[in-house]
Each structure stands twice: as C-alpha cells, then as structure tokens.
Amino acid sequence: MQVLVTGADGFIGSHLVEMLLQQGYQVRALVCYNSFNSWGWLDGVSNNNLEVVAGDIRDPFFCRKLCQGIDTVFHLAALIAIPFSYAAPQSYVETNVTGTLNMCQAALDSGVKRFIQTSTSEVYGTALYVPIDEKHPLQAQSPYSASKIGADAMAMSYYSAFGLPVIIARPFNTYGPRQSARAVIPTIISQIATGVTQIKLGDTSPTRDFNYVLDTCAGFELLSRCDAAIGETVNISSNYEISVADTLDLIRNLMKSDVDFIMDEQRLRPPGSEVFRLWGDNSKLVQLTGFSPELDLTEGLRRTIDWFTQPQHLARYKASQYNK
C-alpha cells in the first residue's frame, strides 16, 4: 500500500514513518521545504520503500501532485506550539485550516481511500467531565486549538459533502524521543541532563493524559485499517491522568536529581486559556480496533530519558533557552 505522511519530519510523523516502513508500507513522506535541505528527524533514514518530498501544504497545486497515486493519507503537518499561536495566529489558520483544506481537496481529486486527519486533545479545552469522550464539547481556549477545531471541521465536511473517507484521530498528550523542547517533558529531561539546579516552569497543577509516541502511532495505523472508523472522530489516549507536577517529580526521581522547580509567571498561559484537566476516554478506539497501550508512563519516561541523555541527542537541544 502506498501511503503519504505529511509532517513526516516532525516528532510523531518521523516515528510513524518508521513504524509504517517496518510494517511493509510504501511511504511518501512530506517534509517542510527549507534551504538547508534538512529532512528533520528523517535525516539519516534510508529505506527503499521511502520517498521523501519537500514542500508546503499551503500550496494547493503542490498538494495535488503530492497525493497522486496514494491510497492512505496520514495528515500530521501543522503548526502546533500553543505559545506561538498567541503571537502569530494567522499563520496557524493558514497552515492548519487552509493547509487541511488543500490536502482534503487533493486527496479527493486523487481518489485517496483513507484520509486520517490528526486532531488534538486541546480542542476539548478544560474538561467539563471526565474521562473525556468524543462527544465532549469543543472549546477554543487558544488560537492553536481554534485552528485545529477548524481543520477537523473542514476535513469532516469533505466526508459529509463529497464522500472523502475521513477519520479524525484525536491524540492526547504524546511524548517520547525527538519531541520538541517546547513541551514540558523534554525540556525538563534536557535541563536536568545538562546539570541545572533550578528549572523555571509555568503552572504545574493541570493534569494530562500522556501517551508514549509509539502507542500513538499504533493508534494511527490501526485506525487507517478500520472501515468502521470512517466518518468518526476517535480519541487516542491512555485513559489515565496525572498532574504535570507529579510527572515532573517522577522524572526527577528517575533521573536521581535534586533539581528545584520554580514557577515563572511569564510562562503562564493567558487567563482563560490554560487547559486545566485532560483525561481521555479511549473506549471507542479499543472497541473499534482492539487498541491497547504497550507502555505505562514510568517505562515510557525511562525510554525517553535514555534517548535524551545520549550526548548526540542532547546536543540538538538548547536546554538553557526557553522554547516557545
């Protein structure tokens, strides 16, 4: 099967590409065009079944060429950093909403058999009830989450209006090797690994439903083969919540560190924008596909710590610089 992964140079996308290659798929991987000729996290990946293409989903003509000959699209390309969405909201609309529109139209024109739209648990906002199932109201508490609500709606409109076989995969908080330092887990691990004694953080009281990246990727692949999931929105979550503070304590203990965590007001989200509770109900995914996460949080963090603390990996992170 010929599949396309957009956002293949990123954290989740690169892991998904590797998983699909291991399972025998022919993979076309879209990386964001840049003058450095960098494939992001796919640099160094060599496989006869891999075709890497550089481009931009904001260009509809490019998207049309990209989707030719493709059976399944895994659409992960997006702007994802929440703090930067406060500073540059239009860029999130152009990439996440218009980019998704371009990809849906290109997939429709090319006769794609599956279109997996990547959503995010941020669209739910602070939980009104837990665990959060797919019927939970959507709350746009940041420009980023608003753009993803719009992107999901655009993709689903192509299912309803034109019959594009869309599945909306809604992962909760994915973590693991290669994650951007804008996220709390890698920024804590990388700073502890460089020997800092104090780490500045925003609010650590919110809870999250953390999922190891390979479990998230397994959810994507299972959904892509599930006929019953077409036209559906499906959470990919662990059905478990833990506070950010408790997660940081777990990392500190696993790394045998005595680092102090200090609250920094400039890292707080604007009032009304913080998502205080995320706990995802994964029963729909389990019922549809038989999905079962392989790693609990402790083992997933051990593997993540092992990766980040390797010198060649740690050198790629600017541990002393606040990454928005």
289 part of a folded domain: no
290 part of a folded domain: no
- Residues with Cβ within 8 Å of residue 250, at least 6 apart in sequence: 297, 298, 301
**78-128: per-residue pLDDT in tens?**
999 999 999 999 999 999 999 999 999 999 999 999 999 999 999 999 999
- Which residue from 212, 211, 185, 209 is spatially nearest to 199, judged by alpha carbons? 185
Q: Which residues pair with 235 in a beta bridge?
A: 170
- Which residue from 190, 215, 227 is spatially nearest to 296, judged by alpha carbons? 215
- For residue 101, give both structure tokens: 């529109």
pLDDT for 59 equals 98
Based on the fold, state whether residues 92 and 158 are members of the same structural domain.
yes
Q: Which residue range(s) make up the domain with 263?
A: 178-208+241-274+296-314
194 part of a folded domain: yes
Please tell me the total count of domains within the chain.
Answer: 2
Based on the fold, state whether residues 8 and 35 are members of the same structural domain.
yes
Based on the fold, state whether residues 99 and 120 are members of the same structural domain.
yes
Based on the fold, state whether residues 164 and 96 are members of the same structural domain.
yes
What's the CATH code of the domain at 186?
Answer: 3.90.25.10
Average pLDDT of span 299-305: 98
What spatial distance separates the first Cα and last Cα of the chain, rounded to whole Å? Answer: 38
286 part of a folded domain: no
54 part of a folded domain: yes
Separation between Cα atoms, residue 58 and residue 99, nearest integer Å? 5
Based on the fold, state whether residues 147 and 43 are members of the same structural domain.
yes
Based on the fold, state whether residues 168 and 248 are members of the same structural domain.
no
Based on the fold, state whether residues 261 and 144 are members of the same structural domain.
no
Based on the fold, state whether residues 86 and 165 are members of the same structural domain.
yes
282 part of a folded domain: no
Share the mean pLDDT of the chain: 95
267 part of a folded domain: yes
Based on the fold, state whether residues 61 and 17 are members of the same structural domain.
yes
What's the CATH code of the domain at 58?
Answer: 3.40.50.720
Based on the fold, state whether residues 168 and 24 are members of the same structural domain.
yes
Q: Which residues pair with 277 in a beta bridge?
A: 207
120 part of a folded domain: yes
**36-76: per-residue pLDDT in tens?**
999 999 998 999 999 999 999 999 999 999 999 999 999 99
Q: What is the pTM of this model?
A: 0.96
The three-class DSSP label of residue 320 is coil
pLDDT for 320 equals 63
Based on the fold, state whether residues 127 and 160 are members of the same structural domain.
yes
Based on the fold, state whether residues 10 and 147 are members of the same structural domain.
yes
Measured N-to-C along each axis, helices 297-308 and 184-193 cross at an angle, to the nearest 10 degrees, of 50
**227-248: per-residue pLDDT in tens?**
999 999 999 999 999 999 999 9
